[in-house]
Amino acid sequence: MSTLTRRAVLRAIGAAGLAGVAASLAGCAPTIGTARLPRVPAAYDGPPVRLKFWNGLTGGDGPVMRTLIAEFTAAHPNIGIDMYALPWGDFYQKFPAAVTSGLAPDFALMHNFQVATNAARKVIMPVDDILETVGLAEADYLPVVWGSGVYRDQRWSLPLDMWPDSLFYNRRVLEQAGLDPDAPPTDRAGYEHALDALASSGVKGHWLPAVDPQGVGRGFDSLLWQFGGEHYDDGGNAATFGAQAGVDALEWQQSLIRSGWSPRNVSGSDASMAFKNDQNAFLWGGPGALINDLGSVEGLDWDVAPLPQIGSGRAAFSGSHQFVVARQPRFDADRLAAVVTFLGWILANSIGWASAGPVPARLPILDSPELAELTAQSHVAEGVEHIRFYPLVPGIAEVQTTILYPAIGDALLSLGDPAAALDTATTQASFLLQENVEKYGRA
> What pLDDT, in 10s, does the model give residues 173-203?
999 999 999 999 999 999 999 999 999 999 9
Closest CA to 264 of 44, 385, 412: 412
Question: Residue 56: pLDDT above 80?
Answer: yes
Q: Which of 130, 131, 105 is nearest to 118 (CA)?
A: 105
Percent residues over pLDDT 90 in the chain: 87
Which pLDDT score, from 0 to 100, does residue 443 have? Answer: 66
Tens-digit pLDDT profile for residues 96-143: 999 999 999 999 999 999 999 999 999 999 999 999 999 999 999 999
Average pLDDT over residues 75-104: 97
- pLDDT digit string, tens, across residues 164-174: 999 999 999 99
Task: Yes or no: say if 209 and 266 are a contact pair by the CB < 8 Å rule.
Answer: yes
Return d(Cα 165, Cα 210) in angstroms, integer.
17
- Side-chain-side CA neighbours of 410 within 13 Å: the count stands at 17
Domain 49-159+321-360 = CATH 3.40.190.10: yes
Mean pLDDT of 327-334: 93
pLDDT value, residue 20:
37
Spatial contact of 122 and 32, defined as CB atoms under 8 Å apart: yes
The domain limits of the chain are: 49-159+321-360, 165-318+392-440
Q: What is the pTM of this model?
A: 0.91
For domain 165-318+392-440, the CATH architecture is 3-Layer(aba) Sandwich (3.40)
C-alpha 216/C-alpha 285 separation (Å) is 10
Q: Same CATH topology for 49-159+321-360 and 165-318+392-440? A: yes
Q: For position 9, what pLDDT does the model report?
A: 41
Q: Would you state the pLDDT for residue 316?
A: 98
pLDDT value at residue 35: 65
- pLDDT score, position 214: 85
**Three-state SS string across 222-283, please?**
HHHHHCCCCCECCCCCCECCCCHHHHHHHHHHHHHHHCCCCCCCCCHHHHHHHHHCCCCCEE
Around Cβ 397, how many Cβ atoms within 10 Å?
20
How many CB atoms are closer than 10 A to CB 129? 15
Query: Is the pLDDT at 255 greater than 50, yes or no?
Result: yes
- 1-49 pLDDT per residue, tens: 334 443 344 334 433 333 333 333 333 433 334 467 888 888 899 999 9
Comparing 78 with 21, the larger pLDDT belongs to: 78
Mean pLDDT, the chain, integer? 91
Angle at 384 between CA 151 and CA 204, to 5 degrees: 120
